[in-house]
């Protein structure tokens, strides 16, 4: 989704080659473009399968970062009631009171072994990789000259099927992701639950179908990943509850 926004912000969309200049193009976008081409050759020239395969591989490589971010987010959620209680104890309009509250919160984080910034670093690392892969798809000339299933990968889907599938998959993925969130957080995400899929569909109508295929594959992968994580967490919670009842 970041790529959708940036693609409309004047970033270079010229064909990417080994001669492309600049740190971003030469060290981020071109290597991924080269990998797409090599993967397509292994798949008998299917650039559609190459995009899908590369999407899965990149998501798998980013999985440890995602799990670290998820773990940090869950830890922060557990502390939310205590944090809210601290906020009610201090006058937020008073500078001295604010300072005391911040000290109390830092003490709470330290005692719980939680770093409030730990969830940000994995996201910062993931963003450039996903952005680079987006632009590798957009700027690889070979993709634009190939087709996959009913689609010309270099043009928008004439039947609008893939953009709709991508939007629907995004909706299901976000719905699954918010299912185990606290009610307050899930409520804040509710607007995005509808806006993001609409943006994906709208972008898919205007942009090459290769991107809709990428978004669709990524959302399906994230759905499976989220389902597995949620299932494992439910099992762990049940096991922990069983142990506590035994004690």
pLDDT tens string 64-101: 888 888 887 777 777 777 877 877 777 667 777 778 88
Mean pLDDT of 115-128: 77
Query: pLDDT > 90: what percent of the chain?
Result: 42
Q: What's the number of domains the chain is made of?
A: 1
Give percent of the chain with pLDDT exceeding 70. 88
226 in any annotated domain = yes
DSSP state of 64: H
Q: What is the pLDDT of residue 209?
A: 94
- Whether 225 is in a domain gets the answer yes
Q: Which range marks the domain in which residue 164 is found? A: 149-247
Q: What is the mean pLDDT of residues 164-176?
A: 92
Give the pLDDT score at 10: 46
- Which pLDDT value is given to residue 50? 97
pLDDT at 191 over 80: no
Rounded Cα gap, residues 224 and 176, in angstroms:
10
- Whether 29 is in a domain gets the answer no
CA distance 191 to 16: 36
> Would 119 be classed as within a structural domain?
no
- How does pLDDT run across 26-54, given as a tens digit for each residue? 899 999 999 999 999 999 999 999 999 99
Q: 132: closest CA among 212, 21, 8, 27?
A: 27
Residues 6 or more apart in contact with residue 47 via CB below 8 angstroms? 36, 40, 142, 143, 146, 148, 153, 210
Q: Is residue 158 part of a domain?
A: yes
Calculate the CA 89 to chain-centre distance.
36
Residue 8 reports pLDDT greater than 50 = no
**What pLDDT, on the 0 to 100 scale, is given for residue 126?**
85
Mean pLDDT of the 219-236 span? 88
Domain assignment of residue 155, yes or no:
yes
Q: What is the DSSP letter of 238?
A: H
What does the pLDDT average to over 2-14?
53
* Residue 75 belongs to some domain of the structure: no
What are the Cα distances from residue 184, in Å, to 124, 168, 233? 25, 24, 20
Q: What is the mean pLDDT of residues 142-162?
A: 92
Query: Does 190 map to a domain?
Result: yes
Mean pLDDT of the chain: 84
For position 6, what pLDDT does the model report? 46
Higher pLDDT, 141 or 103: 141
pLDDT of residue 9: 45
Range scoring the smallest mean pLDDT among 3-17, 31-45, 140-154, 181-195 = 3-17
Count the neighbouring beta carbons within 10 Å of the beta carbon of residue 240. Answer: 10
Is 117 a residue whose pLDDT tops 80? no
């Amino acid at each position: 989704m970041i790529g959708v926004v940036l693609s409309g912000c004047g970033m270079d969309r010229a064909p990417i080659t080994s001669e492309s200049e600049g740190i971003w193009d030469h060290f981020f976008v071109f290597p991924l473009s080269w990998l797409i081409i090599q993967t397509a050759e292994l798949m008998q020239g299917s650039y559609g399968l190459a995009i899908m395969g590369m999407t899965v591989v990149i998501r798998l490589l980013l999985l440890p970062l995602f799990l670290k971010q998820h773990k940090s987010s869950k830890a922060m959620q557990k502390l939310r009631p205590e944090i809210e209680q601290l906020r009610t104890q201090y006058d937020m309009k008073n500078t001295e009171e604010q300072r005391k509250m911040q000290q109390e919160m830092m003490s709470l984080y330290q005692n719980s072994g939680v770093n409030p910034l730990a969830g940000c670093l994995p996201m910062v690392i993931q963003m450039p990789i996903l952005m680079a892969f987006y632009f590798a798809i957009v700027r690889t000339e070979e993709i634009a000259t190939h087709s996959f299933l009913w689609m010309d990968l270099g043009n928008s889907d004439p039947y609008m099927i893939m953009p709709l599938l991508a939007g629907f998959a995004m909706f299901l993925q976000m719905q699954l992701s918010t299912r185990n969130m606290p009610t307050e957080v899930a409520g804040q995400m509710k607007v995005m639950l509808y806006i993001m899929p609409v943006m994906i569909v709208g972008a898919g109508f205007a942009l090459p179908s290769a991107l809709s295929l990428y978004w669709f594959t990524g959302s399906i992968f994230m759905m499976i990943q989220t389902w597995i994580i949620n299932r494992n967490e439910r099992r762990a919670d049940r096991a922990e509850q069983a142990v506590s009842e035994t004690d």
